Amino acid sequence: MLLQKIQTKIHEVRGYKVMLDVDLAELYEVETRVLNQAVKRNIKRFPNDFMLQLNNEEWGFISSQIVMTSTSRRPKTSIPFAFTEQGLAMLSGILNSEKAIAVNIAIMRAFVVLRQFALTNEKLTEKLKQIESKYDKQFKDVYEALNFLLQKEKQNKSTLKRKKIGYRK
C-alpha cells in the first residue's frame, strides 16, 4: 500500500525522477516547512543533482497533474523543492525519526521497482522493434508483389483493343 502511494508521488523533472517536498513531508508526517528547514540547515548535503528548485512552468505542470495543491499544504505562490533519489537518501541522514527511516526504506524500494520496470520496458521496446523490422520486410515484399500485379493489370487493360460497334464508312 505504502509502496503504491509512493510510486504515484514520483515525477519526472529535467530528466530526473523526483519527489516533491510537500509529498515527502506528508509521508514523514512533518510539516513541509520543517522538512525544508532541516534541508536548509544541511544544504551542503544537497548539491544541484540531489535537490532541484522547480520553476513556475514545472510546478504548474506537476500541480495540474495532481490534486494536492490546497493552500493549507502549499501556498500557490510557493514553489516546491524536488528531491532526486540521491537527495532522498541524503534526507535519511538528517531526519532520524523511526517514521523517516521506515518511509525512506519504502521510497528506495519504490525507486528500485521503477528502475526495474523501465529496464523491462526497454527490453520489450527493443523486442518489438526487432519483430517490426522482421515483419515489415516480409510485408514490403508482399506490397511490392501486389503493386506489380496491379501495374500489370492496368497495362493489360490499356492494351486490350475493343471491337468498335457501329457502322463503318
Q: 24-49, pLDDT tens digit by residue?
A: 989 888 899 989 999 999 999 999 98
pTM for the model stands at 0.60
Look at the block and give the residue holding cell 523486442: 127
Query: What confidence score (pLDDT) does residue 153 get?
Result: 67
Strands across the sheet with 81-84, in order? Answer: 10-13, 16-20, 81-84, 51-53
DSSP string of 11-67, one letter each residue: EEETTEEEEEHHHHHHHHTS-HHHHHHHHHHTGGG--TTTEEEPPHHHHHHHHHHSS
Q: Name the β-bridge partners of 77.
A: none
Domain boundaries, the chain: 2-121
Instruction: Tell me the one-letter amino acid at 57.
Output: E
